[in-house]
Structure 1
Amino acid sequence: MKYPETPAVLVKDKHFKLADVSTDDKGPFDEKYAHKESAEPRLAALRQRLAELQENLYAEHQRSLLLVFQAMDTGGKDGAIGNLLTGVNPAGVQVAAFKAPSPVELAHDFLWRVHLKTPARGHIGVFNRSHYEDVLVTRVHGLIDKKTAHQRFDDINNFEQLLTRNGTHILKFFLHISKKEQAERLQARLDDPAKRWKYEPGDLKERAHWDDYQDVYSDALAHCSTDGAPWFVVPADHKWSRDLAITEIVVAALENMDPRPPTADFDVKAQVIK
């Protein structure tokens, strides 16, 4: 499908590198919107349309939409997801956050725990982190090698193809921030007692692997962006631009799906309500 013009970059090249995408690019939004406030009317209209499309998807009960969010620490996954889901009916949404696998999960293949969380028909599913952790964290920390990672790329592509063949449309978003922006966000969490709960000392250990993560993310995105399950790299230093770009893409995808409520299977005229 044709996606709307946004700062987000649709990954198409097998040689794709994150370094080629600016983290603070606002793309066409620079000309359309002078600042966050001027973009609010557009965002409000998109939210209303998203709510309408979600209701139709839920009523149709034939297909689903899966949204995958990945980012470096402080990349804004929680904020982006919260913004996107503003105004939608929570009854039609399934959100899954993937942490380090449990012993039971480790006793199965790496996709076992993920398949259990995919959205049912009629629902929008959201993955806050995902099956991609098993080709990212594991690789950076030497738990798997490049050969195993590339074998898993094939498994992931086959898994996502299985979902799409069974009516699940997939969109994947990498929220792309700079190392400088991450430092500022980590410091802000430390400085604000109300936000301090978000900070973990382990974040600094992961930050030390910044370049390694950029490399393995680039590899995963390049090999796992397909027509049926595309990856979008969303410049995320500017939160309002990030949120608007994601909402534009999701609404466009649902418009293309064109979900429609079923017609009544009874004689409407014969129904007399007294």
Structure 2
Amino acid sequence: MKSIDSADFKVVDKIKLSKLPTNLEVGASDEKKENKLEKISAKLSELQDVMYAHNKYGVLICLQGMDTSGKDSLIREVFKGFNSRGVVVSSFKTPNSAELEHDYLWRHYLALPEKGKFAIFNRTHYENVLVTRVHPEYILNENLPGIENVEDIRPEFWGNRMEQIRNFEKHISQNGIIVLKFYMHLSKEEQRQRLLRRLEEGKHNWKFSTGDLKERGHWDEYMEYYEDAINSTSTEEAPWYVVPADDKEMARYIVGKIIWEEMQKHTDIKEPEMDGKVKENIEMYKDILKKE
């Protein structure tokens, strides 16, 4: 299997999504990719146990991508070895009435990971500069000062939101949250095939929504706004990774490998040492328990 270099997917300069591959040929069977992922998943699970004991970092994994890009199955496969208490998944859809009474980042703050845990945002705070940009009328639901109609939403509004998101991510990263963001880069043709399979395979019929077709009609707009969001907010504190998503097995392995390699940079994550007094008297405590 061809070696995968995580750096190849990291956004460090301005990118054009149309120039980036949606598929990656590595000369390996699906079975081999799955075996590789199994090993990475097991390592990540062990790391989370150590993180829990260390109790200084949380990890935020952000997943974005068009419908059918494989986010749900990726979460299931990459994190399946985790202790269920060590990972929490949040999916952000249309904000409810209570959420609309606060600023648009409020609900995302509430879902941030505790120390020692992973949080996964399946669709993220970036919906606020993606879906709302394709459908600016949604912004009116936020009841913002100075925004009375769609015409009031000027280009600088989106620039301000990008800055607010950068500040949000910088703030949480400076307070112990490791932020990794993944854009699942799916081709329009592969999405068409996956939507067809949803309709043709009985067990997946329930996944199909007419809304999928509606949003597909805005494909070019979404690509433009994804590109702008990624270019505007990929920082050292919160980098974006563009992952080819036409091959689900490969995409899962790439994401798992990137997370593992990024976590290795935090060399201070170690299990705490045993309390000195306990260590000094460990033989006595063992003897007490054995005599019970």
Q: What TM bracket, shorter-length normalisation?
A: over 0.9
Alignment match of 1:193 (pick from 185, 193, 202): 202
Tell me the equivalent position of 1:122.
116
Checking the alignment, whether the CA contact within 8 Å between 1:139 and 1:145 is kept in structure 2 is no
Question: If the length of structure 1 is used for normalisation, what is the TM-score?
Answer: 0.92
Matched ranges for 1:1-274 at <5 A: 5-6=5-6, 9-13=9-13, 15-26=14-25, 30=26, 33-143=27-137, 144-258=153-267, 259-265=269-275, 266-268=277-279, 269=282, 270-272=284-286, 273-274=289-290
Paired amino acid for 1:222: N
Shift of 1:6: 4.5
CA distance in 2, matches of 1:40, 1:104: 41
Shift of 1:169: 0.4
1:70-106 deviation digits (Å, cap 9, x = unpaired): 0001111101111110211111111111010112211
Shift of 1:224: 0.5
Of structures 1 and 2, the one scoring higher in RCO (CA 8 A, sep 6+) is: 1
Runs of 4+ that moved beyond 3 A: none
| Identity score, percent | 40
CA distance in 1, matches of 2:155, 2:271: 46
Checking the alignment, whether the CA contact within 8 Å between 1:92 and 1:122 is kept in structure 2 is yes
Q: 1:239 to 1:149 in 2, by over 3 A?
A: same
CA distance in 2, matches of 1:42, 1:109: 42
Q: Helix, strand or coil: the match of 1:246?
A: helix
Q: Helix, strand or coil: the match of 2:203?
A: coil
Checking the alignment, whether the CA contact within 8 Å between 1:7 and 1:235 is kept in structure 2 is no
Checking the alignment, whether the CA contact within 8 Å between 1:64 and 1:169 is kept in structure 2 is yes
Out of 210-219 and 86-95, give the one that drifted further. 86-95
Paired amino acid for 1:69: L
- Structure with greater helix percent: 2
Q: If you compute each CA radius of gyration, which structure gives the higher value, 1 or 2?
A: 2
Paired amino acid for 2:121: F
Checking the alignment, whether the CA contact within 8 Å between 2:59 and 2:179 is kept in structure 1 is yes
CA distance in 1, matches of 2:62, 2:16: 19
Tell me the equivalent position of 2:146.
none
* Structure 1 unmatched runs, 5+: none
Q: What is the total number of aligned residue pairs between the two structures?
A: 265
CA distance in 1, matches of 2:21, 2:34: 23
